[in-house]
Amino acid sequence: MRLTPADLKPLLEGMEACPHRILGFHLLSEGGSVVRAFLPGAVECRLLKGKGAKGLAMERIHEAGLFEATLKDSEHFDYKYKATYADGTVHTLDDPYRFLPTLTEQDLFLIGKGDNHQVHHKLGANLRTIDGVRGVAFAVWAPSARRVSLIGDHNLWNGKSHPMRTMGASGIWELFVPGLEAGARYKFEIVGPHSAAPFVKTDPCGLQFEASPHHAAIVTDLSAFVWTDAEWLAQRRRQQTHLQPVSVYEVHLASWRRKLEEDNRVLSYRELGAQLAEYCQKQGFTHVELMPPAEHPFDGSWGYQVTGFYAPTHRFGSPLEFMMFVDTLHRANIGVIVDWVPAHFPRDSFALAQFDGTHLYEHADPRLGEHQDWGTLIFNYGRHEVRGFLVGAALSWFERFHIDGLRVDAVASMLYLDYSRKEGEWLPNRKGGRENLEAIEFLKQVNALVHLYHPGAITIAEESTSFPGVTKSVAEGGLGFDYKWNMGWMHDSLDYFKQDSLFRKHHHSKLTFGMLYHWSESFVQSFSHDEVVHGKGSLMGKMGGIDFATKAANLRCLLALQWAWPGKKSLFMGCEFGQIAEWNHQQSLDWHLLQYPLHSGLLQLVHDLNFLYRKDSGIAWYESDPANFSWINPDDGDQSVLTFCREGRDCTWVFVGNFTPIERTYRLGVPHSGIWEEAINTDSAHYAGRGLGNLGSVRAESIPLNGRPYSVEVRLPGLTVLIFRQTKG
């Protein structure tokens, strides 16, 4: 294999797509072998065979740093290079071009089909030992690129030093670099199909990234971490969440708490893990939900414009420290749900947009490929490799970081091709309809695989339309989510409670309408971050009333209604103690408010609601069963009183809500005789109420009412919810 000038030209000009055909070890047709090294900047190079060898001087066949040695050896042998550079420095280097590909034909086939469910162990940067040599296997999908090179600290970011080899029609480029270790920074330098000018991209499958504006990926080794959550994971596999109480605390990690005395710095993953575990245990939440912890460049996106779909953000520490964060919460019996954003990605030039010089991850046609509302790009779910990339990202969070669930953002925007578009701004599907058929199949696949590989894990859809079967199983023709945020109930409830109590009788149907569709899906009753941003004010601020005491009383009623209503629970941070100011992602929650009774009382109420919900876990057992719920009197709008009954496996709840300031003596029917414990009274002095109520209980009388054989007469303070409970004998 003798080189001609035509052979050398692509390599020297940085356009060689198959560097292994020139560099490394090659047998010669006339016998013997040749070894070639391309070391830009080197003035001398020796070939080292075996330990302690002085080495063989290699001929410098081009001044750019191309060296060659002809040998009598006709069998492959281990070797290294000893290179001397113009500044006098000497480096001993292993040869990346002497190794066989790290990807098999089977790997390439499955990645091409989008069916390699652990694609993150094939693409990206993976620490490997090959032929006894420790190094990093790099691989990236860039099918339209004419050349891809690995650049980083190891080669002074020189795109000519480490050209990668193309793996045929797969569009994948690969290179094993011996000697590299965890901590190495790297990117990919790409020459696209339309210009000879190279551009630089970070690794789509990177596991760790440095901060803006550099965005280099960092080789990461997770093998050293020792998990201590085996008992938690075993319990998760055994339990069925739809039969268990689920109370989720939604958190933005950068603004939950900050160290004000240390220049307002954010907490680390270590600090967050310890403090959130203690707080959620104390308050009775079963899960935390993290606003997207994946890597993102812009703080103001709150994590919803992701550039590193496989990487925990650098803002709070390393991936190993994120693992510690999750492990700490699991030891406290707190589950971890992660917001996941497969609906779109930002246009940042260093990331996925036009990754190989073409519209690779996104659609080329803006009628399919652009989110007009958010200025972002939409994934091409019909492309197998793109679908495989996203599926791998979802599964990697469970596998690598032991998370317990995904809350999938903006599902409605994925389901419909005309989402937030006018006529002429969208293209119909192949059947002429408005549904995004490829996105629908993608969501089904993700949900099916999460449940296959990680039994007990949950998926939750933020889906704001009436798309059918969101929480039906894939086998039944549904999307396969476990739960769906109940956006309709949330909007109706907030619309009701913002009304002046004088006019609430005209809006009473907003409290009851949700039950007409409630059993169509498995719902989470959620008040999320979306309700306390962009000028909407805080949850406390939305409440009717001209003074904070009245607003707090209304908020206590709303939260008690949320916990008593069928469905799982989710509450955004700060709402549990009545944050007054609208949420600001750049500063801590206003924890100082807890010195005031109105706010500490709200926090105590959420604590008591959570612990009642968990104590009477049988209520959750039948939460998806219509037989669990019955109206006592849904039609008392004139008095703005709402009453209903919840039947659990081992107890019964009766809910009584008075949503005017007028105190009433009120009789209502109940299903059982005997004593009914006043388990929750939102007017309790413990919650900064007036302390009016029923002295802890009421006794049912044999006076039929509301279609029930018994009834109770209760003292019903103004702007108050009472929850009575009775255990089953």
Measured on CA atoms in the order 609, 614, 619, 622, is the torsion positive or negative?
positive
CA distance 149 to 685: 68
Q: Which two tokens stand for residue 635?
A: 């039609």
SS (H, E, C) 596-652: CHHHHHHHHHHHHHHHHHHHCHHHHHCCCCHHHEEEEECCCHHHCEEEEEEECCCEE
CA distance 133 to 80: 12
Residue 147, strand partner residues: 191
CA distance 559 to 128: 52
CB-based burial, 518-540: b 16+ in 10 Å, e otherwise: beebbbbbbbbbebbbeeebbbb
CA distance 352 to 307: 7
Residue 67, strand partner residues: 37, 60
Active-site residue numbers?
409, 462
CA distance 351 to 355: 7
Burial class (CB in 10 A: 0-12, 13-18, 19+), 557: buried
Longest dimension (CA), the chain: 108
3-state secondary structure of 27: strand
CA distance 386 to 391: 9
CA distance 645 to 661: 23
CA distance 449 to 445: 6
CA distance 364 to 724: 59
3-state secondary structure of 510: helix
Task: Transcribe 442-458 into DSSP letters.
Answer: HHHHHHHHHHHHSTT-E
Asked if 35 and 81 touch (Cβ cutoff 8 Å), the reply is: no
Instruction: List C-alpha distances in Å: 481 to 133, 432, 474.
Output: 44, 26, 9
Q: How many helices (H) and strands (E) does the chain have?
A: 15, 38
